[in-house]
A and B are shown apart, each in its own frame.
Chain A
Amino acid sequence: MSSDYELSDNEYYDEDDDEVMYDDEDGSASEMDVDFRISPNTKVKSYEIDFDSLSQAQVEKQISQDVEDISGIFGVEPEVASLLLRNYNWNKERLIEKYMDSATAVSIAAGLALPEKPDSSSRSRATQSQPVGAVRRTTRRNTNEQPKSGKTKILERVTPPLDDQPFVCPICFDDSQTKTMSLQCNHKFCTECWNAYTTSKIRTEAEHWITCMAEDCKLVATDDFVKSALKDDADVFTRYQELVVRHYVSCNKNLKYCPYPSCTHTVSCPAGASKSALTTIVPIVTCGASAGHKFCFGCNVDADHRPVVCGVAKMWLQKCQDDSETANWIKSNTKECSKCQSTIEKNGGCNHMTCKKCKYEFCWVCMGPWTEHGTAWYSCNRYDEKASIDARDAQSRSRASLERYLHYYNRWANHEQSAKLSVELYTKTERKMEEMQITSDMTWIEVQFMKKAVDEVFKCRMTLKWTYAMAYYLEKNNQKELFEDNQRDLERAVEELSELIESSIDPESALPLRQKVTDKTVYVQKRNEIMLEDTANGFLEGRWKWNMSIDGFDEPTEYAY
């Protein structure tokens, strides 16, 4: 793991030319690509990606390595080196280059040294000793001497202490405070105010760059200063250290912080780090926390959006958000039976519905009769483009385009909803497993096939869900046909397995059911593999063509409307 990481030193974000740097720099990126493909412990499937998880301590170790390097080269204290690095977004090379040019300029810019102003002390003394009431009225007369408005100037400072008088903290106005702290600039404030300020910066603003409290003073606090300002509040200091780690991670394109709340793990995934890679791979990674948070390294979506690439996933999610009101009615959990109009509520993951009243069997998704879904011409997954091609005038065209969207959205939302309902399915399944232990002679181990089947159904519904987002944007051609064939096969297998799981069990049927479910689970697993694998290969081969312009891909030959 670490070897990949160390290679990447010269790939830190650079404000000026990050793309160029990554792609063209002596081929290091492609080298790493090759490395990742032939490395022995690497992924075998084309829809999986190589990555590593790092704990906060591991990242901190890398940070101290960089800090020690700079500290050694420049001959400065490690905490100074740390601030210099942070100010250069952890780009060691650039920092070294600039520091060699002018150590003073770099230190001033980093807030580690005071800018040299010949008469600064006497001038500030002069402003400071003005009585409070002497502050000018703001009129045309003095606007010229002021900096641009909107970027405001200081017109008045709080009453400053004079050297021979007892100390009055200029922030809390307390004259009983005897303990003060200041940075090199000598702007003194009481320790209570430093404490409240530092805590507020870290807690409220998630800030790791803590400057002096005086207006326009750019000096920055070192880790030691922060620590003593916080007194004994270890929690806040821990949060501060975490913020430094987050900053380091955010500056390195090979690293990403886990997006799950309060998780402190980092994932390293060089193969998914360049923007251009995101048109061919879907970098789904899992953090090292015991819960194993799954997220996308490419777009930070906190879910697995395979098989579609980030650009398509993003466009689809945006579209769903934009059109949410129009499509809202579909999300509802109830529908009417198309035969007797009684209300039907969906409460399992299976799409094969039977009306309680009239016993009509139909498909939840298309509301068509279920009998047609069992046959070879199952076509619930395909949108009939012909109807919309016929549409001539703008109004029916826009209706057709909405219908087209709803066709895909309906199926997308249905798989999502069915997957959510799987929580319910779990409890149902558990009950069923207990039941089976009693009614048949199966052991606890032997009834686990049910749980496995439920897990598989959930996984496949996630794949299916995203295949509808993909199909919405796919240009209509032979490739799309094949894609939809795979989608149909997977969907049918999933629905069949889903139905098996929900079927009732009696002692005689337990064993055959177990056989059927186990076989079907294996089959579904295989179909899911095929779906993921073939789609991933299609991206690697550049086989997919779109009906809309999608970031990073060729312009479509034919636009959807």
Chain B
Amino acid sequence: MDARLRRVNKEISDCKNDKTSNISVELVDNSPFHLIGSFLGPEETPYEGGHFQVDIIIPDSYPFQPVKMKFITKLYHPNVSSASGAICLDILKDAWSPVLTLKSTLISLQSLLCSPEPNDPQDAEVAKHYMTSRASFEETARYWTHIYAGGPGKDGKKSGKTGDSRDEVAMAGLDKAHVDKFEALGFERSKVIDVLRRLNYRGANVAKLNDDRIVEELLK
């Protein structure tokens, strides 16, 4: 049997037989080389209660070249692109070793959710948010978990995938009062949200950005 296939099959069955780590993998289109992995968000983090899915491609030269992984579930995290789900993690690049497995890599992803590395960001805007105001960042990450990963909302209720309407201000991690203020000047709400998010109008940064600067940006 093909060495790559034997190895991947064994890895898949290892994941299936493992009941303790809350990791699972499913085949896509019956191919063992395209999988969807999933795990639960770690406890005591903004991702707690969320169910996160990861797209997994096993390259031809596996395990000598790393697996390709990206998040399918949207999440708010400095090392994950909020748009594409691309992940910045060393073992998926040059720190890969052929002895690493699907399971160990997924567990590493799970632990990445516990301890973000904002100095080596994938999503610079999210990383800035994380560095400026941790509390506000965690609130936004929790809100994303609620909206996209089925996590509990503020009041602890599970999100019904369709029921809730999304609050764009919360999605962007902004303060409603700030958005209202600039909207009152006659700018479109979505534009205000976009500008404030880009300029990281949060926490201590709010004092550093004067209104003229914001208006100038809104006029562009």
CB distance from A327 to the nearest CB of B (A): 25
Q: With contacts A140-B43, A214-B99 known, is A174 near B3, CB below 8 A? A: yes
Of all chain B residues, which has the CB nearest A138? B111
* Bound: A534/B100 CA distance, A: 63
Name the interface residues of B90-125: CB closer than 8 Å to any CB of A.
90-91, 95, 97-101, 103-104, 107-108, 110-117, 119-120
Contact of B111 among A132, A143, A197 (CB under 8 A): A143
Q: Is B45 a contact of A158 with CB atoms below 8 Å?
A: no
A148 touches B (CB below 8 Å): yes
Looking at the assembled complex, report how far the CB atom of B200 sits from the nearest CB atom of chain A, in whole angstroms: 21
Total CB contacts across the A-B interface at under 8 A: 119
Query: Contacts A157-B99, A173-B6, A213-B98 given: A133-B64 contact, CB under 8 Å?
Result: no
Interface size on A, residues (CB 8 A): 37
Does A156 make an interface contact (CB < 8 A)? yes
| Interfacial chain A residues near B61, Cβ < 8 Å | 196, 200, 204
Q: A154-B100, A156-B103 are in contact. Are A140 and B114 (CB under 8 A)?
A: yes
Which residues of A in the span 141-192 have a Cβ within 8 Å of any Cβ on B?
143, 146, 148-158, 170-174, 192
Question: Does residue A393 face the partner (Cβ distance < 8 Å to B)?
Answer: no
Does B14 count as interface, using CB distance less than 8 angstroms? yes
Query: Are A150 and B111 closer than 8 Å at their CB atoms?
Result: no
A157: B residues at CB distance < 8 A: 99, 104
Q: Are A133 and B97 in contact (CB under 8 A)?
A: no
Assess A152 versus B10: contact at CB under 8 Å? Given A137-B21, A204-B61.
no
CB–CB A200/B97 < 8 A: no
A215 contacts the other chain (Cβ, under 8 Å)?
yes
Chain B residues whose CB sits within 8 angstroms of the CB of A172 once the complex forms? 3, 6-7
* A186-211 interface with B by 8 A CB criterion: 192-193, 196-197, 200-201, 204
Inter-chain contact B98/A197, CB cutoff 8 Å = yes
Residue B81 interfacial (CB < 8 Å)? no
User: Is A139 on the interface with B (CB-CB < 8 A)?
Assistant: yes
In whole angstroms, what is the CA distance A197 to B119 when docked?
Answer: 32
Pick the contact of A150 from B10, B65, B90, B97 — CB < 8 Å? B90
Structural contact, A155 and B3, CB atoms closer than 8 A: no
CB of A519 to closest CB in B, whole Å: 61
Given contacts A132-B18, A137-B22, A204-B61, contact A148 B104 (CB under 8 A): no
Q: Provide the residues of chain B in CB contact with A150, threshold 8 Å.
A: 79, 88-90, 112, 115-117, 119-120
A residues neighboring B (CB under 8 Å): 132-135, 137-140, 143, 146, 148-158, 170-174, 192-193, 196-197, 200-201, 204, 213-216
14 interchain pairs, CB-CB under 8 A: A137-B21, A140-B43, A150-B79, A150-B90, A150-B112, A150-B115, A152-B89, A152-B108, A158-B99, A172-B3, A173-B7, A196-B64, A213-B99, A215-B100
Residue positions of B touching A, CB distance < 8 A = 3, 6-7, 10, 14, 17-22, 42-45, 61, 63-65, 79, 88-91, 95, 97-101, 103-104, 107-108, 110-117, 119-120
